[in-house]
Amino acid sequence: MPRTLDPQFRAWLARPHLNRLWERARDRLTRNGRQVSGTITIGDLNADERYAMGELTGRAPGPTGRIDLAAVDAALRASPAGIGLLAILEALGGPVEDRRAVRNAQAARRAQVRDTFATAIADSKLALTNWADTLVDDLARAGLLARVDDPPRTAAHTTAALEELLDRISNNDSSQPLLRTVLAARTCGDAHGLDDDRIEMLIVQRGLALATAQPSPRSRAERRSLWDAAGILADDISDTVLLAGIRPTGPGPLAAGLRDRAARALPAHLTWRDLQTEDCTCARDTAVYICENPSVISVITRADITAPMVCTSGSPTTLVIAYLDRLAAVGARLSYRGDFDWPGISIANRIVSRYGCDTWCYDADTYLRHAHSRMPALVGTPVHPIWDDHLSNAMSRRGVALHEEALCDTLIDFLNA
């Protein structure tokens, strides 16, 4: 600790006319490892500043002052203070940070954390993927490694979680949903280990994006789509599948409630917990009409139509797929339709391919009868519908998107026929 400065001499050093000298000197020492060396330049010195600096060093600088820090240090040591420039700066303004040492320490820690994750990945199943090295680079660029407090523990937990997710993807287990809290308990030893505010979740999410060849998610919908790819649910109550007209055959209260709502043309939402509680499917050979947009269910049920329907609400979530799988397993006859745009065709291809199902009001003739120039333009890369060889050409020629909501009257007529 530097000795206490004489109050009168301290006040002399703390004069406003020397403030710029101390500020510039402090900045220089923080950047060069606290070494008192070299010169600093202070532009536009006024007469009072030049005089004060001349009193200190014995030589007044010019208006554009070049000041030798070693000379200032020597002058201070010979002064009543008896201590050098570094000690004076700390006595006047607190510790002088060694930014070079801080940077070196930070770089060393980043390298250590990176090595820890690289080793954990190399010793796991992830090493067999073509994106293992990319993951470490991606985590470093995103600044996630710098946020890790316990590198060995976090690397072990996230690697274990990604290994299980890889197994689920390779085994096509997306139709057997798993709660994220269960995955976290298995791999992190903590049911909250993969909560949204945990660094482990962000790291696993980056790895899952690479494993499924998706961009790192930026929105809630993109995050849900990413976790859906591995059949992981955030919880068992917030996500739902929208349906109407489904009449389960079971005796339970949930089944009875669904039958009552179906009879009154009222939509219903089922959670994953509901699906675990009762059999919410329908009788064998029941025709079930699937649509893409919730507004279609709204309009059709308001028309008092009680046909069995399920809505994917855009790209189907893990829960929607699980419910459709159950309908298919009991022998329901599924039929799908969606928007006449390229994303809609992509969703339809996945549904039709998975279930080998028919489509309803989703063909070239329907499109050409209703598509007109006032509709929004088609954007994106054309997608070939696997169920209709003519539809893609028809859409490309007309060049407009036809959304389900524009077809509600036609859909009502179809279901009433």
Strand partners, 311: 242, 291
pLDDT per residue as tens digits for the range 265-313: 999 999 999 998 999 999 999 999 999 999 999 999 999 999 999 999 9
Give 118-129 pLDDT, tens digit per residue.
999 999 999 999
Structure-block tokens of residue 217? 């998610």
Q: Mind listing the pLDDT tens digit for each residue in 82-115?
A: 999 999 999 998 999 888 888 888 888 999 999 9
Give the Cα separation of 291 and 398 in Å (integer).
23
Residue the block writes with tokens 């201590």: 83
Q: Please give the Cα distance from 60 to 46 (Å, whole number).
A: 11
Q: Where are the domains of the chain?
A: 7-97, 105-231, 240-416
Residue 365 has pLDDT above 90, yes or no: yes
Q: Which residue has the tokens 């939509």?
A: 267
Helix H segments across 229-293?
253-263, 272-277
What is the rounded distance in angstroms from the CA atom of residue 32 to the CA atom of residue 19? Answer: 20
Instruction: Compute CA distances 193 → 8, 186, 227, 347, whole Å.
Output: 59, 10, 15, 32
Question: Hey, is 297 helix, strand or coil?
Answer: helix
What gap in Å lies between CA 192 and CA 246, rounded to an integer?
35
- Fold of domain 240-416: Dna Topoisomerase Vi A Subunit; Chain: A, domain 2 (3.40.1360)
| Alpha helix stretches (DSSP H) within 171-219 | 180-188, 199-211
β-pairing, 240-244 vs 287-291, is unpaired
> In degrees rounded to 5, what are phi and psi of residue 359?
-120, 160
Using alpha carbons, select from 366, 358, 357 the residue that is nearest to residue 394: 366
Distance CA 202, CA 199 (A): 5
Average pLDDT, the chain: 92
Q: What percent of the chain has pLDDT over 70?
A: 98
Q: Which phi and psi (to 5°) does residue 2 adopt? A: -70, 150
Picking from 325, 345, 327, the residue whose alpha carbon sits closest to that of residue 337 is: 345
Question: Bridge-partner residues for 268, per DSSP?
Answer: 243
pLDDT at 390: 96
HSE on the CB side for 46, CA within 13 Å? 6
Taking 90 as the threshold, does the pLDDT of residue 382 lie above it?
A: yes
Q: Hey, which residues does 179 pair with through a beta bridge?
A: 233
41-50, 69-78, 167-176, 368-377: least confidently modelled range = 167-176
DSSP H or E stretch at residue 73 = helix 69-77
State the DSSP code for 270.
Answer: E
Rounded to an integer, what distance in angstroms lies between the CA atom of residue 247 and that of residue 64? 89
Cross-strand bridge partners of residue 178:
232
Structure-token pair, residue 64: 């554009």
Element (H, E) at 56: helix 47-57
Is the predicted pLDDT of residue 1 greater than 60, yes or no? no
